[in-house]
A and B are shown apart, each in its own frame.
Chain A
Amino acid sequence: MKNINEEEGANHQKTGESFIANLKYVLVGVFFGIVFVKAEIISWFRIQEMFRLTSFHMYGVIGTAVVVATLSTLLMKKFKVKTLQGEEVIYSVRPLDKGNVIGGLLFGLGWAMTGACPGPLYGLVGSGFPVFLAAIASAIAGTYAYGLLRDKLPH
């Protein structure tokens, strides 16, 4: 079966990975989940403050993350940093389309409702709010609906 398309956030590694090799992504996720809870990024209230412009916190988090990620990516490109497996890193570019606008607006509406983007939805389940399993199930249903309707939607 074919692999997922280039521009859709695909795994670009050519070498296959065993179950054990995949455990390193669990570790990165654990680290990430702890940051989510401790910086209260998963809090519905922090997202409300962001959209009500009453706190700088979330702007600070996302802004700093973008600056750090951009500088790292520029440096990696400049020094042609390879992966641990010695492969060339692939920086896939997602083309601009109408989906960025329409889908973006729809996601924005949902973000302010659940108070969580996809990462925090998982983080909330772990931190003792299992009702967010219902939100995740619903997000999977939304993704499925998109997959079925995709050809009929403007892109």
Chain B
Amino acid sequence: MIDMLRHPWHWSIAGILIGLTVPILYVIGNKPFGISSSFRHVCAACIPSGAAYFSYNWRHEIWNLFFIAGIIIGGYIGATALKNPEPIKIEASTQQQLQNSGVTDFGQLVPTDIFSWQGLMTERGFILIVVGGFLVGFGTRYAGGCTSGHSITGLSNLQLSSLVATICFMAGGFLMTWLILPIILKL
């Protein structure tokens, strides 16, 4: 059993479990599933600001910070007790394209030649981590949600805004992957 849990899980299992998070959060606490709001709550809680956008009762939203604390712990368990004993399997043509762009580490969940403290000090690492992170924070708040809040919760509530947002998430991702990323990776 534990051996089965250690190997990478099938997409259908993951999809079902993630999908069930939506009704679970509704039922246990009247909460709409979403994660990117956590960035806003951190701003509201920690950074004194006159901006109206951060002047609200963040304590009422504290559940979201408990939730992300859980995700960090879950990530730890998944990578230790349930660690996959084998290196990650990457689709061959994707690996080839990335190799041509100068990515060298293909053994772990992320290429550590870019996503590590040393990688952060390189030009491409800094751009991907810091600029990428900034765009994630700025973009999700501007769009009103991320993959969880819009693409899962919003779509499940049949919202037009979430459909538009999801299409734009994908469009932005394709644009970056095909046109801009190859240039950044070569830096």
Contact = CB atoms under 8 A, between A and B. Distances in A.
A36 to B, nearest CB: 6
Which of under 10, 10 to 19, 20 to 34, or 35 or more describes the interface residues of B?
Answer: 35 or more
Contacts of B58: 4
Contacts of B64: 11, 25
Contact of B56 (A4, A76, A134): A4
Chain A interface main SS type: helix
A38 interface: yes
A138 B174 contact: no
Contacts of B85: none
A68 B111 CA distance: 32
Interface residues of A, number: 126
Contact of B138 (A65, A137, A142): A142
B6 to A, nearest CB: 8
Given A52-B97, A131-B117, A139 B133 contact: yes
A2 B70 contact: no
Contacts of B63: 11, 17, 22, 25
Interface string A60-96: 1111111111101100100001011101011111111
Contacts, number: 548
A146 B136 contact: no
Nearest to B172: A108
Interface string B5-43: 100111111111111111111111111111111111011
Contacts of B93: 52, 54
A129 B120 CA distance: 12
Contact of B60 (A11, A35, A150): A11
A103 B117 CA distance: 29
A49 B109 CA distance: 13
Contact of B131 (A27, A29, A113, A115): A113
A91 B164 contact: no
A55 B68 CA distance: 28
Interface of B: 5, 8-40, 42-43, 47, 49, 51, 53-58, 60-64, 66-79, 82, 84, 88, 90-91, 93-95, 97-98, 106, 109-112, 115-117, 119-120, 127-162, 164-178, 180-181, 184
3 A-B pairs closest in CB distance: A108-B172, A29-B70, A33-B74
